[in-house]
Amino acid sequence: MNIHKLVPRPLTQEETETIEHFRYYFSFRKTFALIGRHTAAVLGEDGGAGLEALRQTALAAMSALLQRPPDFSAYVMDDGFGLTAMDGEIYTVSPERLSQEEIASGKFAFPGALVLRNQCLEACEAGEILAIVTEEAEHGDPYASV
């Protein structure tokens, strides 16, 4: 994994934890941009593209999301966190585990999902890319040939 930090400060623990959530959710295969404390934009599976091209792809995805109705889906993830998925492969993960009731039912409560949707839209409106995360296939990596 390579984290290309694009902000002039260290990433917070919360941002680092968000990177780890998305690496897990994307099966350690996707290149993505961290665009908010809990929000990421998928940039594809090719981490070999240049950093500027990846940055431009993230900015274009953020802009495109703001130009259409904010449709989203909400999920309870297997690690107990909630996830909203927006068009254009932009996602926000909940900052905390969901309630035991939500986890047991597999249904993310609509008010909580709306909060995450709004965080996603706010991150896109801010237009800041905190970091770009690329995965490198290594020898022995079970996903390297998939």
This prediction has a pTM of 0.88
**Beta-bridge mates of residue 78:** none
pLDDT, tens digit, 9 for 90 and up, residues 23-81: 999 999 899 999 999 999 999 876 667 899 999 999 999 999 999 887 999 999 999 99
Question: Which structural domain, as residue segments, surrounds residue 87?
Answer: 2-134
Q: Confirm whether 23 is domain-assigned.
A: yes
110-126 helix and 51-65 helix, angle to the nearest 10 degrees: 130
Question: Is residue 145, in this structure, part of any structural domain at all?
Answer: no
Which of the four pLDDT bands, split at 50, 70 and 90, describes residue 8? very high
Task: Answer whether residue 144 is part of any domain.
Answer: no
Is the separation of the CB atoms in 70 and 86 below 8 Å? Answer: yes
Based on the structure, what is the number of domains in the chain?
Answer: 1
